[in-house]
Amino acid sequence: MKKSLSILSIVFFIGFTSMVSAQTMPTMPTKIKVPSVSDASITQMQTLFETPDVQTKVKEQLLGNKDLRDTTINFLKNNPETTKQITSAIAKNPTAKNKVMEYILKNPELTKTAMNFIKNNPEILKKVMGLIGM
Give 10-49 pLDDT, tens digit per residue: 766 676 566 655 555 556 555 655 444 445 578 888 888 8
Q: How far apart are CA 68 and CA 130, in angstroms?
A: 12
Q: Which residues of 69-85 are buried (b: 16+ CB within 10 A; e: fewer)?
A: bebbbebbeeeeebeeb
Answer yes or no: are the C-beta atoms of 59 and 108 closer than 8 Å: no
pLDDT (tens digit per residue) in 57-81: 999 999 999 999 999 999 999 999 9
Q: What is the mean pLDDT of the chain?
A: 81
Grade residue 120 by pLDDT with cuts at 50, 70 and 90: very high
Q: How many CA atoms lie within 13 A of 12 on its CB side?
A: 6
How far is Cα 91 from Cα 85, in angstroms, rounded to an integer? Answer: 10
Distances (CA, A) of 103 to 12, 35, 43, 95, 130: 87, 39, 29, 14, 25
First to last CA, the chain: 79
Distance CA 79, CA 99 (A): 19
Give just the sign of the alpha carbon dihedral 16, 18, 21, 22: negative
pTM of model > 0.85: no
pLDDT above 90 coverage of the chain, percent = 46
